[in-house]
Amino acid sequence: MLNRIGLCIALSAVAGFGQYSWHTTTTTFPPSEPPWQYLGNFYYGYPGYLSNTNGAEVRTVVIRTANGSNQWAYELMLGWYNDYDYDTGYDRWTGYLVRFYENPPYYPMRATIIRKHWNGAETQLAMYTMSSIAHGTVLSASIRASDGPNGDGAGIHIRAGNQAIYHRATNLSVGSRSGIRSLFSDWNESYSDARVGVLETTAPSQVSGLTSSISNGILTANWNSSADDSNGIGWVRYEILRGTQSLGTTNLTTWAMPIQPGESFTLNVKSYDGHRNFAPATGIAVASPPASSGLVDDSRRVGIHAQSAQWGAMGESIDMRSMNLNYTVPLLKAQGRAGVGLGLGLNYNSQNWRKEGSTVSKVGADVGYGFGWKLLAGSIIPVYSNPTTLSYYIFTDSTGAEYKLDVNTGNVWSGTQGVYVWFDANTYRLHFADG
Q: pLDDT below 50 — which residues of the chain?
A: 1-18, 68-69, 292-298
Q: What is the DSSP code string of 333-349? A: EEE-GGG-EEEEEEEEE
User: What is the gyration radius of the CA atoms in the chain, in angstroms?
Assistant: 32
pLDDT at position 353 is 77
Look at strands 407-409 and 36-42 and give their pairing.
unpaired
Burial label, 290 (beta-carbon count in 10 A; 0-12, 13-18, 19+): exposed
pLDDT at position 382 is 84
Classify 192 in phi/psi space as left (phi over 0), alpha (psi -120 to 50) or beta: alpha
Classify 35 in phi/psi space as left (phi over 0), alpha (psi -120 to 50) or beta: alpha
Residue of 277, 189, 281, 187 lying closest to 235 (CA atoms): 277
Q: What is the DSSP code string of 136-160? A: T-EEEEEEE-S--TT---SEEEEEE
pLDDT at position 288 is 84
Q: For residue 214, how many other CB atoms are within 10 A of its CB?
A: 21
pLDDT at position 77 is 83
pLDDT at position 300 is 60
pLDDT at position 367 is 67
Q: For residue 87, how many other CB atoms are within 10 A of its CB?
A: 5
pLDDT at position 282 is 96
CA distance 302 to 297: 9
Report the chain's terminal Cα–Cα distance, integer Å: 85
Side-chain half-sphere CA neighbours of 402 within 13 A: 18
pLDDT at position 294 is 44
Collapse the DSSP code of 16 into the 3-class scheme (helix H, G, I; strand E, B; otherwise coil) and give the result.
Answer: helix
Q: What is the DSSP code string of 359-378? A: EEEE----SSSSTTEEEES-
pLDDT at position 207 is 96
